């Protein structure tokens, strides 16, 4: 089930909210404060299972089996002084299952969100091994793994972030908080349905017709995927945070305006923040982190990006993508280390230098995303060839048409602009220009929602976002990161 579907928006979500509220009320009536929202948590666990198995019930036993094995290992870990064999068995089980489903030829039977719930459970076992978790009950644990807003694409929440919330679920509704969460959900829905999926049409056309692209076409396709991936994935995370907030729970921030980053290190502090945090805490630090000299530190960084590339997909193109990020990340870190040794680390960049660094980082990330999207390294290189040697000419007519939303084309016609020779291209350039302004100068959707107050203007904006998105549901696609 997708967030951007009629079934979720008009059936599942209202029923889940109503059922959760009723169960919390019933729990208080039956057991008073001793209930601590447990009946509501039990309902949410069942609702999460329904959500996960909605379109393909065969995935549900895989999730339940994984949860049972990992919880059993944690239970055993708590009762034995020899925790390391239990941890090793758990990591081997989780990584082995992930590799089996994603890389060893299981065809189209790849459980949704398998990467995300696998990482969630590795984090759970690691914290049990370190002794920071004890006596976790099955009910909060089950919801921690399967909570439906985050199970398919994250964010990758840590045990210490979610388990205390599920152990003592909130009892009273905060109506202003609910308003802000609904606002965030609708902004995320709009980002996915109207922005990301419109960009996706141009991207799909471009990669299906690489040989026909000139340099200008190639640049538009490259830029469109860079924007599509951001608005698609961050839109999902906005929706996930908004939905979780409607139930009274907080999910961690996963995106913080990443294309404003001035270097690769900053980019990974802003992009997929919870994945960076996971790899840092459970791989980079155990490998030695920065405690064993510069050479080892840089090697550890490269290993992280290699693993990240492999995690995203089995193709060599994902390794190329990971290494492109890793090489620039290490170069940036080495430069910062050099400046610190020379006592120049506190020197402030002027605005022009900062702008150049942001532009360079953005262009570099664009180039790396080519391999992330391309079906193979060869096709990624072909798009590069188109960009650098395809010659500049008139933008492909069909490519430009992918951005001509009917809603805006009517405005073009009313204003009489459709008679201009460039009319077919106006919306494409305007659409891309506005999105670039938004990612470089606009506020993060989460920050906008935090400041939102109930009022006529905001209610009008929310109504427009909802109606416009719902009317466009018939043309939407699945989220991109479902594939990872």
pLDDT for the residue numbered 238? 96
pLDDT tens, position by position, 76-86: 998 888 899 99
pLDDT tens, position by position, 375-410: 999 999 999 999 998 788 889 989 988 888 776 766
pLDDT for the residue numbered 113? 85
Q: How far apart are CA 117 and CA 346, in angstroms?
A: 41
User: Residue 184 in contact with residue 241, Cβ under 8 Å?
Assistant: yes
| Sequence spans of domains, the chain | 6-172, 176-257+388-473
Residues belonging to the active site: 312
pLDDT for the residue numbered 275? 94
- 10-residue mean pLDDT profile of the chain (484 residues): values are 88 95 88 79 95 90 94 90 91 90 70 89 94 90 95 91 85 83 95 92 94 93 96 95 94 96 96 95 91 92 94 89 96 90 72 93 97 94 91 87 77 69 83 95 93 90 89 71 61
Among 79, 154, 85, 74, residue whose Cα is nearest residue 114: 154
CA-angle at 190, arms to 452 and 460, nearest 5°:
45
How far lies 15's CA from each of 18, 43, 97, 329, 370, in Å? Answer: 5, 11, 33, 46, 41
pLDDT for the residue numbered 171? 62
Q: Could you tell me the pTM of the whole model? A: 0.92
The position carrying tokens 């719902």 is: 470
pLDDT for the residue numbered 347? 63
3-state secondary structure the chain: CCCCCHHHHHHHHHHHHHHHHHHHHHHHHHHHHHHCCHHHHHHHHHHHHHHHHCCCCCHHHHHHHHHHHHHHHHHHHCCCCCHHHHHHHHHHHHHHHHHHHHHCCCCCCCCCCHHHHHHHHHHHHHHHHHCCCCCCCHHHHHHHHHCCCCCCCCCCCCHHHHHHHHHCCCCCCCHHHHHHHHHHHHHHHHHHHHHHHHHHHHHHHHHHCHHHCCHHHHHHHHHHHHHHHHHHHHHHHHHHHHHHHHCCCCCCCCCCCHHHCCCHHHHHHHCCHHHHHHHHHHHHCCCCCCCCCHHHHHHHHHHHHHHHHHHHCCCHHHHHHHHHHHHHHHHHHHHHHHHHHCCCCCCCCCHHHHHHHHHHHHHHHHHHHHHHHCCCHHHHHHHHHHHHHCCCCCCCHHHHHCCCCHHHHHHHHHCCHHHCCCHHHHHHHHHHHHHHHHHHHCCCHHHHHHHCCCCHHHHHHHHHHHHHHHHCHHHCCCCHHHHC
The position carrying tokens 């758990």 is: 90
User: Residue 166 in contact with residue 149, Cβ under 8 Å?
Assistant: no
User: Residue 143 in contact with residue 49, Cβ under 8 Å?
Assistant: no
């Amino acid at each position: 089930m997708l967030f951007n579907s009629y079934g979720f928006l008009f059936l599942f979500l209202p029923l889940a909210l109503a059922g959760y509220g009723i169960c919390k009320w019933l729990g208080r009536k039956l057991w008073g404060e001793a209930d601590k929202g447990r009946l509501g948590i039990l309902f949410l666990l069942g609702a999460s299972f329904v959500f996960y198995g909605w379109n393909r019930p065969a995935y549900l036993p895989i999730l339940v089996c994984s949860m049972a094995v990992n919880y059993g290992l944690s239970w055993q870990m708590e009762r034995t002084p020899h925790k390391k064999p239990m941890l090793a068995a758990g990591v081997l089980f989780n990584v082995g299952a992930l590799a089996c489903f994603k890389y060893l030829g299981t065809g189209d039977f790849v459980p949704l969100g398998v990467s995300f719930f696998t990482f969630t459970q590795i984090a759970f076992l690691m914290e049990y091994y370190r002794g920071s978790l004890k006596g976790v009950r099955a009910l909060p644990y089950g919801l921690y793994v399967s909570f439906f807003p985050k199970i398919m694409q994250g964010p990758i929440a840590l045990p210490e972030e979610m388990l205390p919330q599920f152990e003592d679920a909130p009892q009273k509704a905060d109506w202003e908080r609910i308003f802000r969460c609904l606002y965030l959900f609708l902004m995320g829905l709009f980002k996915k349905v109207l922005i990301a999926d419109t960009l996706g049409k141009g991207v799909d056309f471009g990669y299906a017709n690489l040989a026909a692209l000139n340099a200008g076409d190639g640049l538009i396709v490259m830029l469109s995927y860079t924007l599509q991936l951001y608005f698609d994935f961050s839109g999902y995370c906005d929706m996930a945070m908004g939905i979780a907030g409607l139930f009274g729970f907080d999910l961690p921030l996963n995106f913080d305006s990443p294309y404003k980053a001035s270097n690769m290190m900053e980019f990974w502090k802003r992009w997929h923040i919870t994945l960076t945090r996971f790899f840092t805490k459970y791989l980079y630090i155990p490998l030695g982190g920065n405690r064993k000299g510069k050479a080892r530190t840089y090697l550890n960084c490269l290993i992280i990006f290699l693993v990240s590339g492999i995690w995203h997909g089995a193709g060599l193109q994902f390794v190329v993508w990971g290494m492109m990020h890793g090489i620039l990340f290490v170069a940036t870190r080495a430069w910062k280390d050099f400046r610190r040794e020379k006592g120049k680390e506190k020197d402030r960049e002027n605005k022009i230098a900062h702008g150049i660094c942001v532009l360079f980082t953005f262009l570099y990330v664009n180039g790396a995303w080519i391999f992330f999207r391309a079906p193979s390294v060869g096709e990624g290189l072909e798009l590069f060839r188109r960009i650098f040697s395809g010659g500049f000419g008139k933008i492909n007519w069909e490519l430009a048409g992918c951005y001509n939303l009917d809603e805006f084309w009517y405005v073009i016609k009313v204003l009489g602009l459709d008679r201009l020779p460039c009319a077919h291209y106006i919306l494409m350039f305007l659409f891309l220009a506005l999105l670039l302004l938004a990612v470089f100068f606009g506020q993060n959707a989460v920050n906008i929602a935090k400041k939102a107050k109930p009022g006529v203007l905001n209610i009008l904006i929310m109504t427009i976002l909802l109606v416009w998105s719902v009317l466009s549901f018939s043309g939407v696609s699945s989220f991109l990161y479902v594939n990872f």
